[in-house]
Amino acid sequence: MRRIREALQRRFEEIGDETGQQALARVEDPPVGPEHVKALTQAVDASAALDPSFADALKQLLEEAKATGINVEHVAQSIVGDHNIQIQGTENSQINIHK
């Protein structure tokens, strides 16, 4: 998932897409609601529509993530407060917990 995030961040910076950059930053800063995910989805879709090579590279990263067992269809977790741990859809995934 890190590689996908980095690819999106790089792409949005390269084309000067401030809306995409803000949408990506927002979904990385909990709490995240459906409207935040929708904004990022729209930014990714718009960028992929303009550049088929970017769309292909993103599809490849998603396929690689799927091959490792990551559920790329929906990955979202919210943690509020101290010492809360939530784990789901992590089969064959590396998990790091920092306190």
Nearest 5°: the CA angle 55, 24, 66 is 50
**Average pLDDT value for residue range 68-92:** 58
What average pLDDT does the chain have?
Answer: 79
Which of 15-19, 70-74, 86-90 has the lowest average pLDDT? 86-90
Q: Is the pLDDT reported for residue 90 higher than 60? A: no
**Average pLDDT value for residue range 51-57:** 93
Question: Do 68 and 29 touch, CB atoms closer than 8 A?
Answer: no
The pLDDT, as a whole number, for residue 52 is 92
Neighbours of 31 (CB within 10 A): 8
The pLDDT, as a whole number, for residue 88 is 53
Domain locations along the chain: 1-99
Six token digits for residue 88: 């789901």
